[in-house]
Structure 1
Amino acid sequence: MKKLFCSLFLSACGLAAMPAFASPVLIDFEHVPGADGVLGTADDVPTASTFLQPLDQLYAALGLSFIQGTLLQADFYDGNPSNHFISSTYPIALLSKPVTAIGIDSFSSWDVNLVAYDKNGQTIASALLANPNPGGVNLRGHVTLTSAQDIYGFAIHADDPNHILNLDNLELTFADPAAAVPEPSSLALIGLGVSLAGLMRRAKTQGKGGGTA
C-alpha cells in the first residue's frame, strides 16, 4: 500500500510539473489582427493591396513592431500576384511580448542570417540559411532558431546589409506566462498528491498505534 501511495504521489507531482508548450503564431502577411487583437480569428483584416508598404505597426496588436522592413505585394514569391511577403534590406523587429522561437521562409539569392536579441539588445541566438550560390539562383528554404532566454527582438539580414531578402510565413512561439501557473488539471493532480500524502501519514500513524496496543 505504501509503495502504491508513493507511486501515485510522484506521478501526480511529475505531471503537474510538466510545462505547457505554446503553439507558434503564424504570420503569413495576408491579414492583420482585427479588433480582438488576435490573428487567425473571424475579424482579421485583409492586408492592404499596396505594391510596397512599411511593416511598421501592422502587427503591433501581437506585440510585434518593425523598426525596419517593407512588405511587397507581387507574384515573385509564389506566382500569386496578391501574395504579400517581406522584401527588404535588413528587417528589424521588436517584441513587447517575449518569444522563445522564431522561424521564417525565404526565397532569396543571398545567405539569410536570423539573429535574436534579449531585452538589452544583446545577441542570444542566431541561425543561418546559406545559399550555395549567393547572388545567383534564389534559394527556397526555412530558417529557425530557439532560445532558452526570452527573445525581445530579432533581425534578418544578408551578409551585405544592403542586399534584399524575400521572406514569408513568419512563425513566433510566444513565451507562455501561464506555464508558471498550474492549469486546473494540474491543480487537481497536486491535490491528489497532497491527499495521498495525508493518507500515507494516517496509515503510518495507525500502524504505529496497532504495534503498541
Structure 2
Amino acid sequence: MKKLASSILFALCGLFAAPAFAGTISIDFEHTPGLDGILGTADDVAMPNTYLQTLSTQYASLGLTFTQGQLLQTSFYNGDPSNHFMSSRNPIVQLSTAMSSLSIDSYSIWNVTVTLYDIDGNAIWWEQLFNPAAGSSFLRGQLVAISPEPFYSFSVLPDNPNQILNLDNLVLTTYEPSVDVPEPSALALFALAMMLGGLAWRVRAPR
C-alpha cells in the first residue's frame, strides 16, 4: 500500500510544477542598454541628443532589431524638448525571442494599426487605434495587442504608407508556455494518495 501511494504521488509531480512567469521589456527610447545588455541598470547609455536618427540595432541585446523606423527628439510629443520618440512612416521590428503581447503609446493624426507576425512572417493578429478625426486632429492613446500565439516580429502602420506616426513607450511581454492546471480528477487522485500514505503509516506504526 505504501508503494501504491508513492507511485501515485510520483505520477502527480508533473501536474503541480511551478508556474512560468513572463518577462517584460519596456523601452522609452531615452536610454539604450550598456555593457550588461540590460535596460534599467546603472550602465544604461543615454540616447544621443540628435534631432533625427535611424533605429536599427540599438536594442539588439534585448532581442529587438528595427528594420525600419526613425527616432525624433523634440518637444512635440509631450512638451519635453529632450524627449525621444518614434516618428516614422512604418516601424518594423524583428524579434529574436518569442513575444505574447505588446503595447505602445501614440500621438498621431492617423489611424494606427499594429500587426503581429509568426516565425514564418505570417500575420497572426492585428489591432487598430482608431482616430475619429483622422487627418485633421491628433489623437493620444495606447495601442495594445495580445496575440493568441507567439509572435516574432511586428509592424506599426498608418492608413497610408506615406503618413507619419508618432509613437513612444514600447512594452513587450515575452512568451512563456502555459502550465496546465490540474483537473479535479487529478486533485482527487492526489487526495487519495495522501489518504493511502497515511493509512500505510498507521498500519506500519509500532504499537
TM-score, normalised by the number of residues in structure 1: 0.78
Q: Percentage identity across aligned positions?
A: 47
**How far apart are 1:78 and its partner, in Å?**
0.5
Question: Which residue does 1:65 correspond to in 2?
Answer: 65
Between the aligned partners of 2:44 and 2:15, the Cα distance in structure 1 is: 36
**How far apart are 1:122 and its partner, in Å?**
0.5
**How far apart are 1:161 and its partner, in Å?**
1.2
CA deviations on 1:100-130 (whole Å, 9 max, x unpaired) are 0011000000000010000000111110000
Name whichever structure is richer in helix by fraction: 1
Please tell me the root mean square deviation across aligned C-alpha atoms, in Å. Answer: 3.0
Between the aligned partners of 1:83 and 1:24, the Cα distance in structure 2 is: 22
Question: Which residue does 1:201 correspond to in 2?
Answer: 196
1:106 counterpart = 2:106: yes
Question: Which residue does 2:34 correspond to in 1?
Answer: 34
Does the residue aligned with 2:135 lie in a helix, a strand or coil?
Answer: coil
Structure 2: gaps (5+ residues): 180-188
**How far apart are 1:76 and its partner, in Å?**
0.4
Between the aligned partners of 1:13 and 1:107, the Cα distance in structure 2 is: 50
Between the aligned partners of 1:111 and 1:13, the Cα distance in structure 2 is: 50
Question: Which residue does 1:147 correspond to in 2?
Answer: 147
Question: Which residue does 2:91 correspond to in 1?
Answer: 91
Q: Counterpart amino acid of 1:95?
A: L
Question: Which residue does 1:51 correspond to in 2?
Answer: 51
**How far apart are 1:23 and its partner, in Å?**
4.4
CA deviations on 1:17-62 (whole Å, 9 max, x unpaired) are 4633324321000000111111111111000111111110010010
TM-score, normalised by the number of residues in structure 2: 0.80
Between the aligned partners of 1:163 and 1:24, the Cα distance in structure 2 is: 30
Given the superposition, is the C-alpha separation of residues 84 and 14 from structure 1 closer, same or farther in structure 2, using an over 3 Å criterion? Answer: same
Between the aligned partners of 2:134 and 2:18, the Cα distance in structure 1 is: 44
- Name which of structure 1's ranges 142-151 and 200-209 shifts more when overlaid on structure 2: 200-209
Aligned residues: 187
Q: Counterpart amino acid of 1:101?
A: S
Given the superposition, is the C-alpha separation of residues 48 and 147 from structure 1 closer, same or farther in structure 2, using an over 3 Å criterion? Answer: same
Question: Which residue does 1:24 correspond to in 2?
Answer: 24
Structure 1: gaps (5+ residues): 181-192
Between the aligned partners of 2:24 and 2:198, the Cα distance in structure 1 is: 47
Output aligned runs, 1:117-196, within 5 Å: 117-176=117-176
Q: Counterpart amino acid of 1:19?
A: P
Q: Counterpart amino acid of 1:22?
A: A
**How far apart are 1:147 and its partner, in Å?**
1.2
Does the residue aligned with 1:43 lie in a helix, a strand or coil?
Answer: coil
Q: Counterpart amino acid of 2:89?
A: T
Q: Counterpart amino acid of 1:172?
A: L
Q: Counterpart amino acid of 2:129?
A: L
Q: Counterpart amino acid of 2:196?
A: R
Between the aligned partners of 2:201 and 2:134, the Cα distance in structure 1 is: 77
